[in-house]
Amino acid sequence: MRETTKNYALALHGGAGAVPGRDYAAVEEHLRELAGACEAQLADGRCSLDVVELAVAELERSGLYVAGRGSAPNTAGYVELDASIMAGTSREAGAIAALSGFVSPVKVARDVMEKTPHVLLVGTGAAKFARDNHCEEVKDPDNYYQLPVGVTEDDIDNKAHGTVGAVALDLSGALSAATSTGGTFGKLEGRVGDTPLIGPGTWADDDIALSCTGTGEHIIRAGGAIAIACRYKSGVALSVAIEEMLTEVMRLGGDAGVIAVTRNAEIATLYNSDGMKRASVSTLATLNVATFELTLNG
């Protein structure tokens, strides 16, 4: 049994699709501010489930990332979004996939968790549920969606991708995780990646909370977050557990990134893509914000 300390910890990611040489200063500033706001909430005693939801909702709303407002249409010409959220203590979870027309997919996912006996709703059923629960709708899709930071029109045919995620440990020792994505640019209508899948894309239990980003098809086939959690819970060091999953993703032909926090307030933000937009902070570690190897804090 691992020891619990009275700490909080937080990690955010803005996706593992970062391209070397592009300017992510606006993203890093946004992550810095958001991590600071989330830290204040955790220090105040707010539960980790609320904090990961509000973090991901802000990442979706900003339009800076490939999630929520920064998402691009599928090959049929419309936006379909995926999201999931999980509470580690109760193992309750909610998710939506291929959802169109709503501002905050993670909010809909939390409603699925709290208002239905189900874990995952998809497509038109998910949209009907979101409407029935008065989730905010995108009124003018043509003017709402925008290209996120670091993505150009040329990238759209190159299967650019991105995701946002948050993992947190609160002062009561509860761990939570949430992830949201626009998926891969130019994806087929109905395509669903790892993000809304409880297990591969998002996982939280009593020991660890994880959110994945990267090429979803490879993450699913490598096991993703739950594969890391199983390794970690059997005694493998956190960084080794993550690296083993990332190595498997690469062996299968993809690349990915992972953020994790543990009940001991240990944080890991690791990737084998070119970069991963990320921020982390805890009672044991000062705020760190980075996209590639160099951090803003040195």
Catalytic residue among 5, 152, 163, 181: 163
Query: Distance (Å, rounded) from C-alpha 229 to C-alpha 244?
Result: 12
In the complex, least distance from residue 178 CB atom to ligand ASP, rounded to whole angstroms: 13
Residues between 188 and 227 that touch ligand ASP (CB under 6 A): 193-195, 213-216
Q: Which of 110, 161, 263, 278 binds ligand ASP (CB under 6 A)?
A: 161
In 10 A of CB 48, how many CB atoms?
A: 32
Cβ of residue 139: shortest distance to ligand ASP, in angstroms? 25
For ligand ASP, which residue of 10, 12, 15, 98 counts as binding (CB under 6 A)?
15
* 3-class DSSP state of 268: strand
Which positions ≥6 away from 197 have C-beta within 8 Å? 84, 95, 120, 220, 224
Beta bridge partners of 269: 259
183 binds ligand ASP (CB under 6 A): yes
Q: Give yes or no for residue 105 binding ligand ASP (CB under 6 A).
A: no
Q: How far is the CB of 16 from ligand ASP (least distance, A)?
A: 6
Q: Is 162 in the site for ligand ASP (CB under 6 A)?
A: yes
Residue 189 to residue 168: CA distance in whole angstroms: 33
CB neighbour class for 187 (10 Å; exposed up to 12, middle 13-18, buried from 19): buried
Tell me the number of residues near ligand ASP by CB under 6 A: 16
Q: Name the phi and psi angles at 99, rounded to 5.
A: -95, 130
Residue 181 appears among annotated catalytic residues: no
Residues that bind ligand ASP (CB under 6 A): 15-17, 161-163, 181, 183-184, 193-195, 213-216
